[in-house]
Amino acid sequence: MSDRFADVEAVRSGLSGVDYLADDGISSVVYLADRLGKPVLVEGPAGTGKTQLAKSVAEMLGARLIRLQCYEGLDESKALYEWNYKKQLLRIQSERDADWGTIEDDIFSEEFLLTRPLLEAITCEDPVVLLIDEVDRVEVETEALLLEILSDYQVSIPELGTITAKQIPLVFLTSNNTRELSEALKRRALYMHLDYPELEREREIVQTKVPDITANLADQVARIVRTVRNLDLRKAPSVSETLDWARTLVLLGVEHVDAETAIETANVLLKYRTDIEKATKEFASNDEAFTTPA
Amino acid sequence: MTDLVPSDAMADPLLDLMGGFIQQLRQAGLPVSLTENLDAMNAVREIPIGDRTSFKWALGSTLVKNHQHWPAFETVFEVYFSLRGAEYSLTDDDSDATDDDTSAEGDEQNEGGGQEQGGGGGDAMSNEDLAEMLYQALMREDQTLQRAVARQAVQRFAGMEPGRPVGGTYYLYRTLRNLDLDAVLERLLEADKQENGGQSKLDERLARDEYESRVEKMKSEIEAEIRRRLVADRGVEAMAKTLRKPLPEDLDFMHATRDEMESLRKAIYPLTRKLAIRLARKRRHKNKGGLDFRNTIRRSLSYGGVPAEPRFKHPRPAKPEIVVIADISGSVAAFARFTLHLVYAMSSQFSKVRAFVFIDGLDEVTKFFDGGDDITAAVHRVNTEADVVWVDGHSDYGHAFEVFEKNYMNAITPKTTVMILGDARNNYHAAQSWIIQEMKRNAKQVFWLNPEPGSYWDTGDSIVSEYGQYCDGLFEVRNLRQLETFIEAVL
């Protein structure tokens, strides 16, 4: 529908220009989302860069990012629009003797409409990237609110009629998969699962985001994180935690991570006591599990 | 791209191709709707035909809306587009050779010795040479060499024969047995140690992980090679059929392999979270509390003092209590493992879960799951420490229930939901079903989940209906899909 990007490669290089390293999947899907004019549903574990993707795309395009944070109990008046009834009351009171018909026409006009993120996104004149964050937090019934805007880029307001988008925004929905989203929603979106990055890519991410790091240390960090993720943990370290850890190591002036350093700084990487204990056991030099072949 | 014109000449073969592909996906169990089908068609038109990766993602992102289904999609994709993809054109000169090979292999198979007449370039190579090549390929992480080795190895060891009705796993097994990747891994580690002498244990561990992942990649390379040849031999449709595996939600708990169990375990978590959220939501939305007078008045200010929008107090949340009673005897061993994972997942979501396990005796195991973040340890303790054997270690539901009735009946209150998991194969002992009736009288709900297929119920020593008549529901739960149905049905 629109041509923001020339080809898949343009997406990749554009994103890397704003320090977001996209793999084949990400760049292909973002490219398609633009071409087909469809929203992208990004699912995956916490801390793999789902929200960051939307932010980076916005930055790359120089577009405004409009964000709708979802939560339980989110409703129309918070997501789509609301009538500014206080202003409406004032309007009615100020012209007590005016004809009701004109007042009624008057108070249900755009002047009295408070736009919320979704309506804002489609009425905006400038380029927009719409981020609907953690959509799995709203109830199944509330999802229905999103459907009209996601498939037709329009919002129907009973008193006003249908407001259609001035331009089709790029839409990203993120989900931590705490519940299955409705079929209707999934059908309207392109689906992408963002998992923890491969070794190579994680190393590059570390190097991009922590510029002071040596190549050697970045490599070690990426490898250790991979090993840690393979353990049976309650919560595997996310990419942002990897970065925090890398920054910690740089601050401490570490050049080569040994078991001791790894154990001492494990609390940056892991957030549960049992996970830390497990990793410690795994890294401790004289541990059995270490020397026996798999 | 503008140079990609979806002209009629081009659209038609594409239409056929896509139609066939989607047919295959549907047969693999993936729910592909009509709109998704159309989206996929539009998507591939936007992608340059030669770009295989983007092509795959174009199909994946439009057709697969559940991450659990991705492996199934990948298999179908690899099979269906194996001969047409850009990847294969790289090995163009070889694909001719492959055809020769498959016919030549007729003579040479079974005797591992007669490789001379095979196609390809590495005929003069001995098995030792091949092993050395494999070692080098893995050491240097040389992908071209790895692929070449995979091709050679499959040609040499798999003993593939046209039209032979054997699955890919058999060939894979034969190839891997001859390559002995474990030994190669050890050799790699040894070499690594020599080279970087005096490494710390941590470095050694990291090196091991690195080489293990390379070996894994090698395995999948071999698998892909076998698949490519099978497709060439038997055609797409037949191959897609033989490679079809059940989707994770259709996996039978009773017959799951270790790997499958692992994937099930990962899938259980979201499910219990769903269970918890549903129960919580029910708590919140059902019967609102009384009128919140203060709040209503405050709200009314916005409407000029008219209490137009009454506010209600939040109801006091009733915490759901759950009692799980699970059979962990041999006959349901695989299911029991799953059950324990389920119990573990539930106890992290609900504050009041009491868990009991039994064979012919019964013991409470709640404490093993308490605070323990480590499921493996918890399961191990259940299996070793729980006192569940009374006489001979064969299931005796009647006696187990008696023990429950005597010691733990007070665990059941009107707020309790009881879930009993077992196949009700009682070895012809006394049923004591009155205890279930008693539970039903005290509890909010009693459910029985049976891992056996419905058609086996009440055959032999199964007396599930005897118990079932007193339960609020009796469910066949053999896979995640059914577990989900159960959750949706009861809550």
Q: Domain for residue A3, yes or no?
A: no
Q: Which of B325, B323, B321 is nearest to B403 (CA)?
A: B325
Q: Which residues of B touch A183 (CB under 8 A)?
A: 33
Query: Do A100 and A227 belong to one domain?
Result: no
Mutate which of B33, B45, B53, B57 to test chain A, going by most A C-beta atoms within 10 A?
B57
- Could you tell me the pLDDT band of residue A211, with boundaries at 50, 70 and 90? confident
Q: Shortest CB distance from A193 goes to which of B46, B70, B201?
A: B70
DSSP state of B467: H
Chain A positions in Cβ-Cβ contact with residue B202 (cut-off 8 Å): 224, 257-259, 262, 283, 285
Residue A292 lies in a domain: no
Arithmetic mean of pLDDT over chain B: 74
Same domain, A104 and A215: no
Q: Is residue A70 in a domain?
A: yes
CATH of the domain at A69: 3.40.50.300
Q: Is A287 within a domain?
A: no
Q: A97 in contact with B at a CB cutoff of 8 Å?
A: no
Residues of B in contact with A178 (CB under 8 A): 270, 273-274, 277
Total of domains in chain A: 3
What pLDDT does residue B159 have?
72
Cα–Cα distance, A155 to A149 (Å, whole number)? 6
- Residue A286 — very low, low, confident or very high, per pLDDT cuts 50/70/90? very low
Element (H, E) at B147: helix B143-157
Q: Which domain holds residue A269?
A: 199-281
Q: What is residue B166's predicted lDDT score, i.e. its pLDDT?
A: 67
Task: State residue B9's pLDDT score.
Answer: 45
CB contact under 8 A, B302 and A35: no
Which of the four pLDDT bands, split at 50, 70 and 90, describes residue B281?
low
Q: Write down the residue that tokens 């795959």 correspond to.
A: B56
Question: In this predicted model, what pLDDT tens digit does every residue of A30-41 receive, in sequence order?
Answer: 999 998 889 999
Q: Do A106 and A36 share a structural domain? A: no
Same structural domain for residues A158 and A99?
Answer: no
Burial B140-175 (b: 16+ CB within 10 A, else e): eeeeebbbbbbbbbbbbbbbbbeeeeeebeebbebb
- Is the residue at A289 inside a domain? no
Confidence at residue B287, expressed as pLDDT on a 0 to 100 scale: 54
User: Does A288 map to a domain?
Assistant: no
Most confident of A183-197, B201-215, B259-273: A183-197
Confidence of residue B316 (pLDDT cuts 50, 70, 90): low
The per-residue pLDDT for range B418-433, each reduced to its tens digit, is: 888 888 888 888 888 8
Question: Which of B54, B65, B70 lies at the smallest CB-CB distance from A8?
Answer: B54
Q: Is B94 within 8 Å of chain A by CB?
A: no
Say which residues have a Cβ less than 8 Å from residue A69's Cβ, sequence separation at least 6: A133, A134
Q: B202, A257: Cβ pair inside 8 Å?
A: yes
CA A157 to chain centre: 28
**3-state SS assignment for residue B109:** coil
Q: Does A216 fall in a domain? A: yes
- A100 shares its domain with A209: no
Of A8, A187, A286, the CB nearest to B35: A187
Q: For residue A230, give the nearest of B58, B61, B209 by CB distance.
A: B209
Structural domain contains residue A170: yes
* pLDDT at residue B347, as a whole number: 72
pLDDT digits (tens, 9 = 90+) for A243-263: 999 999 999 888 888 888 888
Could you tell me if A61 and A121 lie in one domain? yes
- Write the burial class of residue B238 (CB in 10 Å: 0-12 exposed, 13-18 middle, 19+ buried): middle
Which of A105, A181, A112 is CA-nearest to residue A142?
Answer: A181
Rounded to an integer, what distance in angstroms lies between the CA atom of residue B439 and that of residue B409?
8
- What is the spatial order of strands in the sheet that B473-476 belongs to? B362-364, B352-358, B321-327, B416-421, B445-450, B473-476
pLDDT at B4 over 70: no
Q: At a CB cut-off of 8 Å and minimum separation 6, what does B334 contact?
A: B253, B254, B255, B256, B261
Contact of A89 with chain B, judged by CB distance below 8 Å, is answered with yes
* The token pair that represents B423 in the structure block: 């196949």
Question: DSSP characters for B326-365?
Answer: EE-SGGGHHHHHHHHHHHHHHHHH-SEEEEEEESSSEEE-
Size of interface A-B (CB pairs under 8 A): 124
* ipTM of the complex model: 0.85
- pLDDT band at residue B294, thresholds of 50, 70 and 90? confident
Rounded to an integer, the average pLDDT of B318-333 is 78
Angle at A131 between CA A136 and CA A270, to 5 degrees: 60
Which of residues A163, A193, A223 is at a domain's end? A193
Interhelix angle B92-108/B201-234, nearest 10 degrees: 80
pLDDT of B194-249, one tens digit each? 776 656 677 777 788 888 888 888 888 888 887 777 777 777 777 667 666 767 67
Same domain, A122 and A52: yes
Task: Give yes or no: residues A139 and A174 share one domain.
Answer: yes
pLDDT digits (tens, 9 = 90+) for B34-92: 888 888 988 888 888 778 888 889 999 999 988 888 888 888 888 887 654 444 333 43
C-alpha distance from A105 to closest chain B C-alpha (Å): 20
User: What percent of chain A shows pLDDT beyond 70?
Assistant: 96
Global confidence as pTM: 0.73
Q: Kindly determine whether residue B281 and residue A139, on different chains, have CB atoms separated by under 8 Å.
A: yes
Query: Strand, helix or coil at B314?
Result: coil
Non-local (6+) Cβ contacts of B90 within 8 A are none
Alpha helix stretches (DSSP H) within B235-324: 236-243, 258-285, 293-300
Beta carbons of B209 and A177 less than 8 Å apart: no
Q: What's the pLDDT band for B98 if we cut at 50, 70, 90?
A: very low
Contact A32 B58 (CB under 8 A): yes
CA distances to A83, A95, B307 from A87, rounded to whole Å, are 9, 13, 18
Interchain CB contact of B205 with A (< 8 Å): yes
Reported residue count of chain B is 491
Q: Which two tokens stand for residue B244?
A: 């079809």
Q: Does B209 touch chain A (CB under 8 A)?
A: yes
pLDDT-derived band at B99, boundaries 50, 70, 90? very low
Position B283 scores a pLDDT of: 54
Question: How many Cβ atoms are within 10 Å of B287's Cβ, its own excluded?
Answer: 7
Q: Look at residues A146, A173, A193 and tell me which one is the last residue of a structural domain.
A: A193
A41 lies in the same domain as A125: yes
pLDDT at A39: 93
Same domain, yes or no, for A155 and A227? no
| Residue B274 contacts A where some CB pair is shorter than 8 Å | yes
Instruction: Print burial letters for A265-294: b (CB count within 10 Å at least 16), e (below 16).
Output: bbebbbeeeebbebbbebbbeeeeebeeee
CA distance B79 to B224: 9
CATH number of this structure's domain B258-286+319-490, picked from the four choices 3.40.50.300, 3.30.70.20, 1.10.3720.10, 3.40.50.410:
3.40.50.410
pLDDT (0 to 100) of residue A65: 93
Phi, then psi, of B214 in degrees rounded to 5: -65, -40
Q: What is the pLDDT of residues B110-139, one digit of tens each?
A: 333 333 333 444 455 677 777 787 888 777
For residue A191, the model assigns a pLDDT of 93
Is the domain of A19 the same as that of A108? no
- Residues of A within 8 A of B375 (CB-CB) are 232
In 3D space, the residue among A230, A223, A272, A269 whose CA is nearest the CA of residue A247 turns out to be: A269
Q: Are residues A136 and A188 in the same domain?
A: yes
